[in-house]
Structure 1
């Protein structure tokens, strides 16, 4: 019951965060120094153009600021995000988001998975063998991966894979999956209206994984080094705690001591790191999406920014705010699963 109460409170606290973030977005875009209508017209003297006035009317910029704000907040609340003016001119923003967002989420999912299932175990392994050759090699590898820029690693990996007959040493043709191209959209259309196709159509799923795997490796490596470093530090701190020493003195076996007492408690400081980097991976995929030809939210946001499609930028910022708040709420859920004492510490 306390856990439900704690999570309900955290969810309610997220509502004003979304409101404030959306309000600041509206102010920066529509009340800032840039005139959205002038940016869309792109003329030296936009005031002399009838098109300029039409755009101001269509965007509601001829209304009082308070009315503009209320209209904007109402539209985003019901996800009526309007239409684009420059990027994919005349297209519905909701439709574009539904088209581009799954690709970014697919890329972000595998990027986080690589970072977590490679970085965290390596960090824990180094922490349990601190000040040994294995610890030094693991730490050095993590620092090296973290130091390599994403765009450089993407270019190198792309050149290697293009000249290779296999992908990560695996013969995808044996499963009937062609490997002529390693760039482009991952092809998630087969799951449209049927999420279970992820399981029921394994060949299409493997093809989508193959297409996104190189980009996910590049993007995931950016945070893998952090997981190694922080995981190692967390394990070294926990294994020296008094309750671990007490359990060891009581004769608890080494394996049970590590899995039950050390690893679970060492995960606590890693939760905010993993969830925060999950958002950064999803939102910071612009360069990787460009290099590997994945038309996701990062590509859409970059195109809107370059072409001055300010209304689209406002809509995408609202989506990013929702994603960030959702990731933070997921962090709270994971906290209560790993350490139930967090919910118990909430005052009545």
Structure 2
């Protein structure tokens, strides 16, 4: 079976998963206690006004008709308009205005986890039962155990009082910024500024990076701890494999042995951990963005859920499902690339 055939097979197998996920989403948002009419009209609305709103939104139609219309719109990417958050605004346009901040947060949270978690885990595995190993292992346990919301509140408190606690102001470090704020991503919407006014543009990039780093550290903390622990275990298991002992006996230099034989095979158990970053980004960003006042997709999803903006909730859940299913397919493909022993026929 070729790689293209395998990819097509995985895509076909993902269709029932997407249908099931969107069906559950429809059931939750349609059968739940949320009332879009009440959210639009406020408390103690006039019953006749509620009926008019429900008739205009199609909520008085039979449930099965609403379901097929909902599914048909999603699968044709006719994602409708917001009902409550920004009435009449297309859901895609609304999501596009919030998405850059979440993408920026996700980029740095994944980068921090990868650049800190995996190297420390591999270093601890190559130096077992040393002070470095114990320190990295303990740090991995601590980072993994701390809940996102608790760590976010603690970090906001510490950074806000950094002048009193440590004698230096985080707000004034490098560039003047607030601890709790949305990053200013103006340079990315107007990249021409990098040429017309490079100094101001790079200052904007620096400020946006500084603004997002505390939230990214919180969001990537759990994955960072997991990668440290699994990376250490993977290294310890790999260096005791027979092929590594055989390479040593043949006189393979230690540096070549580590980079060519140990690291590549140690990455195999880390593949699902790395792709699981999507789950952290989807689930954890709601809390983290709320604490740090980052107006991203997580905060938008929270507001839409609370206020009963059903088309927006359904659209966001549909995009989340597509993201997770797509990353699972990428994970399967990555296995076949990293580990030649994994074939296409048995998957």
Q: Would the aligned equivalents of 2:278 and 2:324 in 1 still touch at CA under 8 Å?
A: no
Cα shift at 1:335: 1.9
Aligned to 1:311: 311
For residues 282 and 41 of structure 1, do their structure 2 counterparts lie closer, same or farther at Cα, with a shift above 3 Å needed? closer
Bigger CA drift: 83-92 or 122-131?
A: 83-92
C-alpha contact 2:100 2:296 (8 A) present in aligned 1: yes
Contact kept in structure 2, 1:84 and 1:91, CA below 8 Å: yes
Distance 2:9 2:215 in 1: 37
For 1:38 and 1:245, how far apart are their aligned partners in 2?
Answer: 69
Structure 1 match to 2:94: 96
Per the alignment, residue 208 of structure 1 pairs with 208
Which residues of 2 match residues 218-257 of structure 1 at below 5 A?
218-257=218-257
Q: CA deviation at 1:85?
A: 2.7
| Unaligned ranges ≥5, structure 2 | none
> In structure 2, how many angstroms separate the alpha carbons of the residues matched to 1:240 and 1:196?
54
Q: Is the 8 A contact 1:36 1:310 kept in 2?
A: no
> Counterparts in 2 of 1:1-348, with a 5 A limit?
2-30=2-30, 32-34=31-33, 36-37=35-36, 40=39, 49-162=47-160, 163-164=162-163, 165=168, 167=170, 172=174, 178-192=175-189, 202-342=202-342, 344-346=343-345
Deviation at 1:230, TM superposition (A): 0.7
Q: CA deviation at 1:238?
A: 1.2
The C-alpha deviation readout for 1:208-232, integer Å capped at 9, x for no partner, is: 2121111111211122111111111
Alignment partner, residue 175 of structure 1: none
- SS in structure 2 at match of 1:269: helix
* CA distance, structure 1, for counterparts of residue 127 and residue 326 of structure 2: 36
CA distance in 2, matches of 1:38, 1:210: 41
Question: Tell me, what secondary structure is at the counterpart of 2:124?
Answer: helix
User: 1:332/1:65 Cα in 2 relative to 1: closer, same or farther (>3 Å)?
Assistant: same
- The question of whether the paired residues in 2 share the 8 Å contact of 1:187 and 1:208 is answered with yes
Equivalenced residue count is: 338
Distance 1:18 1:197, change over 3 A: farther
Structure 1 residues 204 and 252, CA, compared in 2 at 3 Å: closer, same or farther? same
Q: 1:2 to 1:125 in 2, by over 3 A?
A: same
TM-score normalised to structure 2 length: 0.86
- The Cα of 1:44 is off from its aligned counterpart by 8.3
Greater displacement, 324-333 / 104-113: 324-333
1:11–1:206 Cα change, 3 Å: farther
* Distance of 2:215 and 2:300 partners within structure 1: 17
Please say if residues 110 and 213 of structure 1, whose CA atoms lie closer than 8 Å, have aligned partners that are also in contact: yes
- Is the 8 Å Cα contact of residues 279 and 327 (structure 1) preserved in structure 2? no
Contact 2:125 2:236 in 1 (8 A): yes
Moved more, 120-129 or 70-79: 70-79
C-alpha RMSD of the superposition: 2.9
Offset at 1:291? 1.9
Question: Structure 1: which 5+ residue stretches go unaligned?
Answer: 173-177
Contact map agreement 1:104 1:282 (CA 8 A) in 2: no
1:43 positional shift: 7.6
User: Could you tell me the TM-score, scaled by structure 1's length?
Assistant: 0.86
Task: Find the aligned partners of 2:207 and 2:111 in 1 and give their Cα distance.
Answer: 18
